[in-house]
Structure 1
Amino acid sequence: MNSRPLKARLAALAASLITLALLAACEPPPPKEADTGRIGVTAGEIRIGSSLPLSGHASHLGQETLRGATAYINHVNTQGGVHGRRITLITRDDGYDPPRCVANTQMLIVEDQVFALSCYVGTPTTTKILPMLVGARIPLVGAFTGANDLRNPFQRYVVNVRPSYYQETAAAVEHIVGDLGLKRIGVFYQFDAYGFDGLKGTEFALRSYGMAPVARGSYARGTLDVEEGLTRITESDAQAVVIIGSAAPSAKFIKLAREKNPDLVFYAVSFVGAEEIARMLGPDERAKVLVSQVMPPPDLPETRGLLSGVKEYDELLRASYPGHSPTSVGLEGFINAKVLVEGLRRAGPDLTRERFIDAIEDIRDFSLGLANTLTYGPGDHRGLQRVYFTKLEEGRFVLVNDWSKPFAPSACK
């Protein structure tokens, strides 16, 4: 074999490699981690993504959360945005369906190129996207769920605003057992991650009194099939029922259970949506219904008149949605947006996702205009801690001020 062509080929290959090396030297380096953290941020815009139920049986929660958040974001944008950047909220409807929420989140991150996520609604949906937050290093601020999975173990990219379901159920059991003296407690729950979380929290709380649920009944998410669970609980001679569900099945359960035992006491966690279940039960319903809430009820004179955050929500809601009544769910969306914006402001003009999380962790005793302040820190993204208790009275929920007579008519109307 002639060596001359081989030498020529080797020389040509060497020349090609040198050329490629020179071209590579002229190419920009791959993006650094700090640059990927700037996705969703331009000179004039910050894109925020949200997947929430805007249709289906949990649509009331999604729509109210969105109205509250939008009311505050609209206000911020009219004031010039944050460091000169307007906030764009990109929303996708998941119908309270976990696979749709996962698909929506993928589109928000990959196609919509959002900077952060906010105002997700629901435990079975939100818990499914937690691994994606770590993979994308993308923050989630303020989800309408008290799920323990968002809190334990600690996750850097999850910023909680509301108290947990464990906190809600622990406070409720303390009142039901300690103040009302009721010993036979049943649990009616949605058969999914949300219901299991609330059931576990209730069981933990009862265990501290040396007790356990006398009965457990459930229903499938998205249905009104409450009868089997109803039978289990009513046959147990329960005195009170802890409800971990959404509004429609919970309302049906309460109505049917009262036909069998009019003296039953019902307690529901905040996800039920106080205003929605009150509407479904009707103004003439005399059931003994308690609902824990993680925001002060915004439609009461004693909160709207005394708390600046509730008053601000009321005013900005009317500006964006004239004629629309304030709700506890809407107030939570509003407060979620306030926390998001405060983090963006503290992060400064050179905004990245890591700087944003660092800025959130720098928040100490921050006033949201509510009855308690907000504090975060490294390793602590729990958020607010106070739980409010309300009772059904003449078609709406009012604050419980006297646990010795919780179902006596309120002095304030």
Structure 2
Amino acid sequence: MAAKYSDPKYDSYDVVIVGGAMYGSAVAWWLTRMPGFDGRVLVVERDPSYEFASTSHTNSCIRQQYSTEINVRVSQFGAEFIRNFRDFMGGDERVPTLTLQSFGYLYLSDTPEFSAALQAAQKLQAECGAATRHLSPAEIAEAYPFYNLDGILGGNHNLVNEGYFDGGTMFDWFKRMARENGVEYIANEVVAMTRDGGRITHATLSNGTRVALGQVVNASGPRASLTADMAGLTLPVEPRKRFTYIFEAAQPLDRDLPLTIDPSGVHMRTDGRYYMAGCPPDVDGPVDYTDFVDHHELWEDKVWPALANRVPAFESIRLINSWVGHYAYNTLDQNAIVGPHPEVGNFFFVNGFSGHGLQQSPAIGRGMAELLTHGAYRTLDLSPFAYDRVPANRPLVETAVI
């Protein structure tokens, strides 16, 4: 593997970003657009094919249906960014227009407690300007008559700026435009860091090359705790498997299927002429960084029965494709950890998104670039995601986690 690695052009960089997938590239690109930043940036990516990156296994969805204001606001900017993608990319005519297919998310509740939580979340979302509605079973049936709603007490739905977009294209252009704007990408791996008290001074690459740095950004996805370990820091992020299935229905539905979060833990949505479903494993714990082995029984024993129960037309379906990806799972609270370490001030986290990462990358990439350039947030205040809640064991409670 080392034979394919490349060396950096320089021996010193203002910012070294460890990981070049969605977050490494979002931060890198935003830095090139940040007034006042003129530093040298190095992105170190251990696998430039991105074959096993979480970015490559994403379902590319965005929602405003969260129970905390900061998560709602982050995704609202994400929707704005998607709708105006070319403008944000400087108006370059090569940049494609991104479409946000707003079929919405539909959270279904089957208990009074969850119904109350959905209604509280809907109130918060409405206060933030989101178009979420809390629906009775009769209202759900009127809008989507294909559901079996036995046992369902209600649901939340939003048809505005909530649904699917082409996350792969967004990532490709983050990376491409960052490079065109002067960011250096290398195929290599950071294997050690030199720490002098409250600062990281150097990153050591797999071939022994030492690179001096001003600031370092941990954008290592599910491997983020390994990067933190090199700096002598603790990070509660681990890889956890998530399963995605593409299937064809013998009797296609007569309208779009919202991204439906079923009480069984299975979610499903329209995916072009096909449909997509996903879920966690029954035993959801940490896995090896290289473990992408499928659990074939999950489809037969859990996913298909849940699909057929909620949408009877899905009794007759054919599995087209499936894959396994990793969440960068924050075991504290399943929310992002963003910003500097309180004691090692030039080590920055952009980690632990727990499945929300793609949709949050425009806002959090921008915020991280602001921190690196100005030492403070200039647009959206992302301080609720700060690292200090980790040692304090103070979770940022978010009830809408899929």
Establish whether TM, by shorter chain, passes 0.5: no
Specify the structure having the higher radius of gyration (Cα).
1
Normalised by the shorter chain, which TM-score bucket? under 0.3
TM-score, normalised by the number of residues in structure 2: 0.28
TM-score for both structures, normalised by structure 1: 0.27
More helix, by proportion: 1
Q: Which has the larger strand fraction? A: 2
